[in-house]
Amino acid sequence: MLLKNGLKPDIITFSSIIDGLCRINRTWEAFECFNEMIEWGINPNAIVYNILIRSLCAIGDVSRSTKLLRRMQKEGISPETYSYNALIQIFCRMNDIKKAKKMFVSMSRSGLNPDSYTYSAFIETLSESGRLEETKMFYSMEANGCPPDSYVCNLIIKKLVLQDCIEDTKNIAEKCRQKGMSLNPVFNS
């Protein structure tokens, strides 16, 4: 249709199509579109790579998503926190903390700061496995320029309550209240 009207697709056209295909779980067709975009001489940007990385992670294809991240870097396109978060979250869901931490270190070395999504992935996984490291991570968030939000506070408190860590729960709840965060009503007593 575009070609019949003499219009040449651009990066916005291709990224919209790729995003749409990924949203309806047609990742392989999105990659065909990605390849076609390159054939047209249009270089993918960080947005296109992020869409594809996130989609590959959603279907559990960690190998291809990490390769795509490396390709992105090789082509001189700087990954964003969003790019790394997709991989950190999938490694955490797979309970592979070692690889998630490796990705976290790689992100930090790239000069990117973790955000609340980064931390919540770790906190969820660590707490599910009964490890109390998440309380230490909570305290490091602010030092790393990412003050915890209400979601992270409630997540940590919930996990600590389930592990019967009353003192840690009280300390974190108080710190969150002092920052004016709203806590789940169950934790406000």
Residue 189: per-residue pLDDT: 47
The residue-averaged pLDDT of 84-99 equals: 93
pLDDT interval class at 87 (50, 70, 90)? very high
Contact 121, 89 (CB under 8 A): yes
The residue-averaged pLDDT of 176-185 equals: 83
Helix (H, G, I), strand (E, B) or coil at 110: coil
Residue 127: per-residue pLDDT: 75
CA 87 to chain centre: 6
Q: Does the predicted model carry a pTM greater than 0.85?
A: no
Give the H or E element holding residue 42. none
CB atoms inside a 10 Å sphere around CB 111: 7
Q: 152: closest CA among 107, 130, 182?
A: 182
Residue 1: per-residue pLDDT: 41
74 HSE (CA, 13 A, CB side)? 6
Give the H or E element holding residue 80. none
Burial 76-93 (b: 16+ CB within 10 A, else e): ebebbbbbbbbbbbbbbe
pLDDT interval class at 153 (50, 70, 90)? confident
- Cα–Cα distance list, 41 to 8, 11, 12 (Å): 11, 10, 14
User: Is the sign of the CA dihedral 118, 121, 124, 125 positive or negative?
Assistant: negative
Residue that the structure tokens 């990490």 belong to: 66
Q: 160: closest CA among 189, 128, 185, 188?
A: 128
